[in-house]
């Protein structure tokens, strides 16, 4: 005979029963929201995939007014801005995390951590505004190019927007490195710097990878700041100087054009189609990042 645990539920009075049922429903609701989001994206976005020929949809020209819905320049625009942003943010973020966790004196930590929280709280549109008025002119002046609204400007702003995520996840990863490993390094006569560089950082590598992925997810979905500072020219960013020329991302395209399209038009459906691509991209990125976190937790590493 096994213990009958369900007995408790049978006896709880009805008020308690109602409360617990409600809590259960609320807990499950998050799944419902994700499904609803996906459902509505599909409902509005899928028509574009059969109304627009594939060759057009994956063409290199995005001129909706002429029924040209080539999403390739937008996709590449997003990828270029995001990758550049991560290349900037990774060294900055990793180094700051190491500094905060391993090196910084207490007072410096007490200043740095709130500052980074503040950065995480600054609205995207404010950073975009700052980018337009302070960063873009600086870049135009320094490089002597016709406009400061470029891929690089966008990537720079995005890098800073991704930093809080990268730093906090990387910090957790460093935190999870066992003290014994550090002590072993130091006991063998290594300096603190050598221990950090040769022992701690390599041990935290997978956590730092997670940090990069989450930062990337954040960057690729960013809208307002990118729209305000990358110049929004829907052209294929293939030449070498693309970094210092305007480009157009998927997010900016939706934000800029959805307000003006006729509901139910091909253009309208295609913008939702881009939404589906964004949804799936970020879903995959976050799934991969979450998988490494969950795996770590099971082994008792991170947490």
Partner 1 sequence: MSRYRMQRLGFALLTLISLVVVAPILAVIGIILVEGMGAISWEFITAMPFDGMKQGGIFPALVGTLLLTLGTAVVAIPIGVGGTIYLAEYARDTLVTRCIRLAIVNLAGIPSIVYGLFGLGMFVLFLRMGTSILAGALTLAIMTLPVIISTAEESLRSVPTEFRTVSASLGGTRWQGIRYIILPQALPGIITGIILGLLRAAGETAPILFTVAAFFLPRLPQSPFDPTMALPYHLYVISTQVPGMPIHIQHGTALVLLALVLSMNLFATIIRSYFRRRRQW
Partner 2 sequence: MVEAKIHIDKVSYAYGENWVLNDVTLDIAPNSVTVFFGPAGGGKTTLLRLINRLNDLVEGTQMKGRILVDGQDIYNSEIHIPTLRRRVGMVFALPLPLPGTVRENVLYGLKLAGVKDRSRLDEILEQSLTQSALWDEVKDRLDHLAVALSGGQQQRLCIARSLALEPDILLLDEPTSGLDPISTRKVEDSLFTLKEHYTVIIVPHSIQQAARIADKAAFFLMGNLVEYAAGTELFTRPRKKKTEEYVTGRFG
Restricted to residues 2-21, the positions that interact with partner 2 (CB under 8 A) are: 2-8, 10-11
> Would you state the structure tokens that stand for residue 131, as one six-digit string?
């980018």
Residues 73 to 102: which contact partner 1 by CB under 8 A? 91-93, 95-96, 98-100
Q: Which of 45, 64, 42 is nearest to 269 (CA)?
A: 45
**Per-residue interface string for the shown chain with partner 1, residues 100-139, x marking contact by CB under 8 A:** x--xx---x--xx-xxxxxx-xxxxxxxxxx-xxx-----
Q: Site for partner 1 (CB under 8 A): which residue of 155, 230, 272, 296?
A: 272
Q: Which of 204, 211, 197 is nearest to 177 (CA)?
A: 204
Tokens 């891929």 correspond to: 151
Q: Does 187 bind partner 1 (CB under 8 A)?
A: no
Rounded to a whole number of angstroms, the minimum distance from the CB of residue 55 to partner 1 is 25
> What DSSP designation does 177 have?
S
Residues 141 to 180: which contact partner 1 by CB under 8 A? 160, 163, 167
Q: Site for partner 1 (CB under 8 A): which residue of 31, 54, 240, 262?
A: 31
Q: Does 186 bind partner 1 (CB under 8 A)?
A: no
Q: Does 204 bind partner 1 (CB under 8 A)?
A: no
CB 150 within 8 Å of CB 230: yes
Q: Cα–Cα distance between 70 and 253 in angstroms, integer?
A: 12
Q: What would the 3-class secondary structure string for 99-136 be?
A: HHHHHCCHHHHHHHHHHHHHHHHCCHHHHHHHHHHHHH
Rounded to a whole number of angstroms, the minimum distance from the CB of residue 24 to partner 2 is 17
Rounded to a whole number of angstroms, the minimum distance from the CB of residue 252 to partner 1 is 9
Q: Cα–Cα distance between 228 and 149 in angstroms, integer?
A: 8
């Amino acid at each position: 005979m096994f213990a009958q645990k369900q007995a408790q539920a049978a006896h709880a009075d009805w008020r308690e029963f109602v409360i617990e049922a409600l809590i259960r429903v609320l807990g499950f609701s998050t799944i419902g929201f994700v499904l609803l989001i996906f459902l509505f994206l599909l409902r509005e976005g899928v028509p574009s995939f059969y109304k627009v020929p594939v060759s057009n949809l994956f063409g290199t020209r995005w001129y909706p007014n002429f029924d040209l819905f080539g999403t390739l320049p937008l996709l590449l625009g997003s990828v270029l801005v995001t990758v550049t942003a991560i290349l900037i943010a990774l060294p900055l973020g990793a180094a700051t995390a190491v500094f905060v966790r391993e090196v910084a004196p207490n007072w410096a930590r007490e200043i740095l951590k709130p500052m980074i929280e503040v950065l995480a709280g600054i609205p995207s549109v404010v950073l975009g505004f700052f980018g337009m008025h302070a960063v873009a002119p600086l870049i135009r002046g320094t490089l002597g190019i016709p406009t400061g609204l470029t891929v690089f400007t966008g990537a720079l702003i995005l890098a800073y927007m991704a930093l809080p995520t990268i730093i906090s996840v990387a910090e957790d990863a460093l935190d999870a490195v066992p003290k014994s490993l550090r002590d072993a390094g130091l006991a063998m006569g290594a300096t603190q710097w050598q221990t950090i560089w040769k022992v701690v950082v390599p041990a935290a590598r997978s956590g730092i990878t997670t940090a990069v992925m989450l930062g990337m997810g954040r960057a690729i979905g960013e809208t307002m700041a990118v729209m305000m500072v990358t110049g929004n020219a829907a052209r294929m960013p293939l030449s070498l100087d693309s970094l210092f020329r305007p480009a157009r991302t998927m997010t900016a395209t939706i934000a800029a054009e959805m307000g003006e399209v006729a509901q139910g038009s091909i253009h309208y459906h295609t913008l939702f189609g881009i939404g589906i691509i964004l949804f799936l991209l970020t879903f995959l990125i976050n799934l991969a990042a979450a998988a490494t976190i969950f795996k770590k937790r099971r082994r008792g590493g991170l947490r």
